[in-house]
C-alpha cells in the first residue's frame, strides 16, 4: 500500500497527504559554465518563419526598420537571443547563397521544394541575416549546403562573409553594402544528412565532411567552429562514427549537431494536437521529451570514450514539440503553443544545464511561426508564446555556472503506462554571484510543496502557470498565459513554498 492510500485508509487529514520535495543546491561544488548558446534560436526559410515573421520588406505596412518588423525585433531583444541558426534545416541543403545577394529586386525566384512548394523570393539572404544577428547582438550559426552544393560554393560563401582582402568576392560584398567582414561564429556542413540532406550513411557523410572541411579557410581571427551534421533521436551511430574520425592539419570537426523532436504520440503520421488534447497526451508529451536525458547520456558516453579531452561539442541544434498542423498550409508547420510547451522547454533546459560541460549549444525549432515558436504573428499582429516566457525567465542562466541539485521525496506523476518525476530542477550562480533556481511541477492537477534545503531567507522570481493543460495565448487574448511575480520567505528556518500545478518557476535564492 503506498503512503497516499495508507493515509486515506487511516483517515488522516488531506493536508498530511501533500507530498513534499526537498531541493538541495550544492553551492560548494560548481560545475561547468552554462554556455549562453544553449538558448540559441533557429530560423529557417519555412512557412512564415522568416517572411512575415521577421522580414516584411521595407515597403510593408507592418511597422519595420529596413524590412525587419519592429515588434518582433523588440521582443527578441528582450529575450536576449544569444545565437541564431540559419538558413535551415532541410532548406539549407537546397540553398545557393549567391541567389540571396545583390539588389533585392534582381534576385532570382526559386521554389522551396522542401516546405510547401512556395516561391522563395530570396529577399532575405546573407546580408539580411547577418545584419539581423548584429541588430540582436547575437552570434551566428550558418548552415552550409552539402546536399546540392559543392566545396567551392561553400568555401566561397565563407570567403564572401569573412574576407578582409581585395578579392573579387570580398569586393562584391562591399559593393552590396557591407564593408567590413561579419564575424561567423559557427558553420555547419550539411543538415540531417541521414535524411533530407542526402540520405547518407555516417561513413559516406564522414568522407564528405573531411572533403568539404578541408577547403573551408577563413582569416585566423574569424574561424567558425565547424559543426558536423549528426544523428537523431536514439540513434548513436552518427556520434560514434563522427567522433572517431581522425583529425589532422587539413580539417577540423569541432561539434556534432543532433536532433530530437517531441511528438505527443511518437507517431509521425498522427503526432497529436497542439491544443484540446487529453491528459494522456500531456503526460506522454512530457515523458517523451524527458527521453532527451537518455539521448544526452548515451551520446555523451560515446564522446567520453572517443574524445576524452572534450574537444568535440554536442549540440542539440534542433529540438522542441512537433504537432499535427491545424491551421494554414501543411508545409508551413504552424502550431499553437500552450503551457504544455512551456514545460517541455523548461524540462529540456534543465537537462541541458545538467550536461553543460559537453552540451554547449541548442537551437529550439523554431523562433517565429514554426513548430515550438517563441513568437506567433498574423500579419500586423504578434503574440508571445508560453515558450517565449520560459526562455525570457531563464535568460539569467546564460553563461552562469551550473550548481548541482539533488531532489528528495520527489513523487512520481503517473497515468496509465506513463510515469515521470513530478518535480524537475536546476540551479546556477550568475556572474554577479546570485544563485538562481528553476523548478518545474509536471503534474497538471496537483500543486507541490517544495522546500529549499539550506539557510536561505527568501526566494524571489517569477512563475508561469495556467488553469488548463492547453492554455495558450491567442491574438484575441495575447496575455492569457504570462508569468507573475513569485516570492516566498523563510519561516521557522525553513524556506517552503507551494509550486502550482503545471508550472515553471525561476527565482533567485537569497
Ligand atoms: O525544423 C523543421 C525541420 O525538421 C528541419 O528543416 C529539419 O532539419 C528537421 O527535420
Taking the centre of ligand 1 as the mean of its atom positions, its distance from the CA of residue 385, in whole angstroms, is 20
The continuous run of DSSP H or E covering 57 comes out as none
Nearest CA among 259, 263, 297 for reference residue 277: 263
The pTM (predicted TM-score) of the whole model is: 0.95
Nearest CA among 143, 130, 218 for reference residue 187: 143
The whole-angstrom separation of Cα 205 and Cα 224 is 20
Same domain, yes or no: 499 and 440: yes
How many domains does the chain fold into?
Answer: 2
Give per-residue pLDDT as tens, 250-283.
Answer: 899 999 999 999 999 999 999 999 999 999 999 9
Q: What is the CATH number of the domain that holds 361?
A: 3.20.20.80
Give per-residue pLDDT as tens, 358-376.
Answer: 999 999 999 999 999 999 9
- Ligand 1, atom 2: nearest CA belongs to which residue? 89
Give per-residue pLDDT as tens, 421-460.
Answer: 999 999 999 999 999 999 999 999 999 999 999 999 999 9
The whole-angstrom separation of Cα 332 and Cα 335 is 9
pLDDT beyond 60 at 11: no
pLDDT beyond 80 at 70: yes
41 pocket-lining for ligand 1 (C-beta < 6 Å): no
Give per-residue pLDDT as tens, 32-55.
Answer: 999 999 999 999 999 999 999 999
Give per-residue pLDDT as tens, 454-507.
Answer: 999 999 999 999 999 999 999 999 999 999 999 999 999 999 999 999 999 999
Same domain, yes or no: 296 and 432: no
Q: What is the CATH number of the domain that holds 419?
A: 2.60.40.1180
Ligand 1 atom nearest 197 alpha carbon: 8
Give the domain-ending residue among 369, 399, 429: 399
Same domain, yes or no: 136 and 184: yes
| Strands 381-384 and 375-378, sheet pairing | antiparallel
The continuous run of DSSP H or E covering 468 comes out as none
88 pocket-lining for ligand 1 (C-beta < 6 Å): yes
Same domain, yes or no: 251 and 315: yes
Same domain, yes or no: 104 and 129: yes
Same domain, yes or no: 43 and 114: yes
The whole-angstrom separation of Cα 370 and Cα 366 is 5
Q: Which domain holds residue 196?
A: 37-399
Task: Look at the chain and count its residues.
Answer: 510
Give the domain-ending residue among 399, 428, 451: 399
Same domain, yes or no: 285 and 358: yes
Query: Grid coordinates representing 259?
Result: 536532433
CB of 313 within 8 A of CB of 358?
yes
Same domain, yes or no: 418 and 294: no
The continuous run of DSSP H or E covering 416 comes out as none
Give the domain-ending residue among 399, 427, 452: 399
366 pocket-lining for ligand 1 (C-beta < 6 Å): yes
| Strands 110-112 and 255-262, sheet pairing | unpaired
317 pocket-lining for ligand 1 (C-beta < 6 Å): no
Catalytic residues: 192, 318
- Ligand 1, atom 8: nearest CA belongs to which residue? 89
The continuous run of DSSP H or E covering 438 comes out as strand 435-441
Same domain, yes or no: 369 and 446: no
Same domain, yes or no: 183 and 245: yes
The whole-angstrom separation of Cα 163 and Cα 406 is 49
Same domain, yes or no: 70 and 211: yes
Mean per-residue pLDDT, 74-93: 98
Same domain, yes or no: 257 and 113: yes
Give per-residue pLDDT as tens, 126-147.
Answer: 999 999 999 999 999 999 999 9
Amino acid at each position: 500500500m503506498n503512503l497516499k492510500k495508507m493515509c486515506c485508509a487511516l483517515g488522516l487529514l488531506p493536508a498530511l497527504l501533500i507530498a513534499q520535495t526537498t531541493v538541495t543546491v550544492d553551492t560548494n561544488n560548481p560545475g561547468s559554465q552554462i554556455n549562453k548558446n544553449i538558448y540559441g534560436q533557429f530560423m529557417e526559410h519555412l512557412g512564415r518563419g522568416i517572411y512575415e515573421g521577421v522580414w516584411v520588406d521595407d515597403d510593408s505596412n507592418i511597422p519595420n526598420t529596413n524590412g525587419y518588423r519592429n515588434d518582433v525585433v523588440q521582443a527578441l531583444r528582450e529575450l536576449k537571443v544569444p545565437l541564431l541558426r540559419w538558413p535551415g534545416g532541410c532548406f539549407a541543403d537546397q540553398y545557393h547563397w549567391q541567389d540571396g545577394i545583390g539588389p533585392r529586386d534582381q534576385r532570382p525566384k526559386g521554389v522551396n521544394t522542401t516546405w510547401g512548394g512556395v516561391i522563395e523570393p530570396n529577399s532575405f539572404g546573407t546580408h539580411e541575416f547577418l545584419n539581423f544577428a548584429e541588430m540582436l547582438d547575437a552570434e551566428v550559426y550558418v548552415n552550409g549546403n552539402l546536399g546540392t552544393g559543392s566545396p567551392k560554393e561553400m568555401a566561397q560563401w565563407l570567403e564572401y562573409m569573412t574576407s578582409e582582402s581585395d578579392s573579387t568576392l570580398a569586393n562584391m560584398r562591399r559593393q552590396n553594402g557591407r564593408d567590413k567582414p561579419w564575424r561567423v561564429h559557427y558553420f555547419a556542413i550539411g543538415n540531417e544528412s541521414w535524411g533530407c540532406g542526402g540520405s547518407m550513411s555516417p561513413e559516406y557523410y564522414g568522407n564528405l565532411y573531411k572533403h568539404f572541411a578541408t577547403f573551408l579557410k577563413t582569416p585566423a581571427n574569424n574561424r567558425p567552429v565547424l559543426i558536423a551534421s549528426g544523428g537523431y533521436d536514439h540513434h548513436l551511430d552518427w556520434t560514434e562514427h563522427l567522433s572517431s574520425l581522425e583529425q589532422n592539419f587539413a580539417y577540423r570537426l569541432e561539434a556534432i549537431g543532433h536532433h530530437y523532436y517531441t511528438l505527443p504520440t511518437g507517431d509521425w503520421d498522427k503526432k497529436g494536437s497542439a491544443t484540446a488534447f487529453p491528459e494522456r497526451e500531456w503526460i506522454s508529451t512530457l515523458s517523451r521529451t524527458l527521453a532527451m536525458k537518455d539521448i544526452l547520456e548515451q551520446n555523451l558516453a560515446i564522446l567520453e570514450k572517443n574524445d576524452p579531452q572534450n574537444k568535440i561539442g554536442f549540440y542539440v541544434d534542433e529540438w522542441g514539440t512537433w504537432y499535427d498542423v491545424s491551421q494554414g498550409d501543411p508545409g508551413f508547420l504552424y502550431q499553437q503553443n500552450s503551457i504544455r510547451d512551456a514545460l517541455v522547454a523548461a524540462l529540456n533546459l534543465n537537462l541541458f544545464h545538467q550536461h553543460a560541460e559537453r552540451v554547449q549549444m541548442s537551437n529550439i525549432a523554431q523562433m517565429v511561426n514554426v513548430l515550438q515558436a517563441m513568437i506567433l504573428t498574423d500579419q500586423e499582429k504578434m503574440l508571445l508564446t508560453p515558450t517565449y516566457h520560459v526562455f525570457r525567465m531563464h535568460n539569467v542562466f546564460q553563461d552562469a555556472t551550473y550548481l548541482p541539485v539533488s531532489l528528495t521525496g520527489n513523487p512520481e506523476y503517473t497515468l496509465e503506462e506513463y510515469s515521470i518525476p513530478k518535480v524537475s530542477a536546476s540551479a546556477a550562480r550568475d556572474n554577479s554571484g546570485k544563485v538562481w533556481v528553476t523548478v518545474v511541477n509536471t503534474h497538471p492537477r496537483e500543486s507541490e510543496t517544495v522546500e529549499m534545503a539550506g539557510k536561505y531567507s527568501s526566494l524571489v522570481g517569477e512563475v508561469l502557470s495556467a488553469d488548463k493543460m492547453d492554455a495558450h495565448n491567442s491574438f484575441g487574448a495575447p496575455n492569457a498565459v504570462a508569468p507573475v511575480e513569485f516570492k516566498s520567505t523563510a519561516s521557522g528556518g525553513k524556506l517552503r513554498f507551494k509550486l502550482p500545478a503545471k508550472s515553471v518557476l525561476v527565482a533567485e535564492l537569497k
